[in-house]
Amino acid sequence: MPQIPRRREASAPMSALPITLHQVNTWLAFRRSARMFALAWGCGLALALAMVVMAVTLDLPIRDPDDVAMPAYLRMPLIVLAALGIDVVPRIVHRARVRRTRPSGLGAIGREVMRERWPAEQWWFAINGVVAWYLTYAAFRNVKSMAPFANPREWDDTLSSIDEFLFAGHDPAATLHAWFGTGVAAHVFSLVYIAWIALVPVSIAIALVWTRHTSAGAWYVTAIAVDWFLGAVVYLLVPTVGPIYSAPSQFADLPRTYVTALQEDMGADRLAVLADPWGSGTLQTIAAFASLHVGIMVTICLMVRLLGLPAWVERAAWIFFGLTVLSTVYLGWHFAVDVVGGVALGAFAVWISGVATGNRVGWRVRLVSLRQDEQAAAGGSTDPAAASGGHHAPPG
């Protein structure tokens, strides 16, 4: 019986395979970046869930926290693109000058810089970090606005009594007014308070866009997300408005500053939201305990130390921390006990975030080395002893 020849199955060319090596690497980069920000995502999703539950049960609106100039879906990409431009454009210009490149060659240099600075893993790292960070922030702002409806009790009298006990019967703000006076000092502390507002987004941009030590960046961004998460929880449990609103007469002698106008606007927004949350068109942003200005500054100071940044940066951070503490109490934003709560909150955020992002040896937080970070990105060993030899490198 003649044999029927078997049909030879042609091997599929690599281009016909359903999954390419590039796609696999992209997926691995996405998965690793998502894992690095797992706690930040958890904080953001938990706050978002609480926001939705409170909005439904209390019949409250959910709003974009910063939609005065433009909506978030336009603003956030523009911020990221601006940070990316600051990262890339100077490098393109520098290389073009060194190589004496004509304008027609700038495109090739730009592509070269983008390949070096922004491979797939860096894109996924930045995107995961930005989205997790902003989700946490937006949900935090909404939960903070809803707190007076969820828990209408105010603890200001209790915290004021604690302050007087801690200061042997004296009011902390009045003491600072006596020490520093109520003239120039008010303007200086006002500038400090406003400078803090710009500090956080700038530091987030550095952590996500400009550094290439992804473990360091993920640790910092996650710590800020934890600060906001814990702050929202405390705002719900211990609602307060702060001395400037519960005892405004104590600050009547202060001159008018930018902070004065800010406090008036925030007070008006709170009254409008409490009177008509749907018709007010805004969020209320008043809550005193614990002080997140202080908490986030503690996080920054500890992170500067743990990341091994230069000594002058650490000194500047601690000086600004001290000025932040003085300004929040001097201007009436916070009670002194709010500062204590903020310190504890900020320190805990650094520790739990270090554990969650793998920056630890046992339960002691420590930045993984840059070499170890690169090995993790390549799928290699992440054993701290093998990768770093017991030492860590500052972020690049």
Residues 90 and 181 in one domain: no
Residues 194 and 322 in one domain: yes
Residue 100: domain span:
68-118
The answer to whether residue 393 sits within a structural domain is: no
Residues 128 and 114 in one domain: no
Residues 200 and 300 in one domain: yes
How many domains in the chain?
2
The answer to whether residue 11 sits within a structural domain is: no
| Three-state secondary structure string covering 138-189 | HHHHHHHHHHHHHCCCCCHHHHHHHHHHHCCCCCHHHHHHHHHCCCHHHHHH
Residues 114 and 190 in one domain: no
pTM for this predicted structure: 0.83
Residues 252 and 237 in one domain: yes
Residues 104 and 159 in one domain: no
Is the bond preceding residue 290 a cis peptide, omega within 30 degrees? yes
The answer to whether residue 18 sits within a structural domain is: no
Residues 210 and 330 in one domain: yes
* Secondary structure (DSSP) of 280-305: S-S------SS-HHHHHHHHHHHHHH
The answer to whether residue 237 sits within a structural domain is: yes
The answer to whether residue 42 sits within a structural domain is: no
pLDDT of residue 79: 75
pLDDT of residue 381: 42
Take residue 221 and report the two structure tokens written for it.
Answer: 């961004």
Looking at residue 129, its amino acid is: G
82-98 pLDDT, tens digit each: 888 888 888 888 888 88
Residues 281 and 259 in one domain: yes
Residues 105 and 207 in one domain: no
pLDDT of residue 24: 57
pLDDT of residue 21: 54
The answer to whether residue 59 sits within a structural domain is: no
* Regions of the chain with pLDDT less than 50: 9-12, 14-17, 380-396
pLDDT of residue 119: 83
Residues 160 and 195 in one domain: yes
What is the distance between the alpha carbons of residues 374 and 29, in angstroms, rounded to a whole number? 12
Residues 108 and 126 in one domain: no
DSSP 8-state assignment for residue 209? I
pLDDT of residue 255: 93
User: 395: number of CA atoms within 13 Å, CB side?
Assistant: 24
* Boundary of a domain, candidates 83, 98, 118: 118
The CA–CA distances, whole Å, from 279 to 35, 55, 59, 66, 97 equal 40, 15, 13, 17, 56
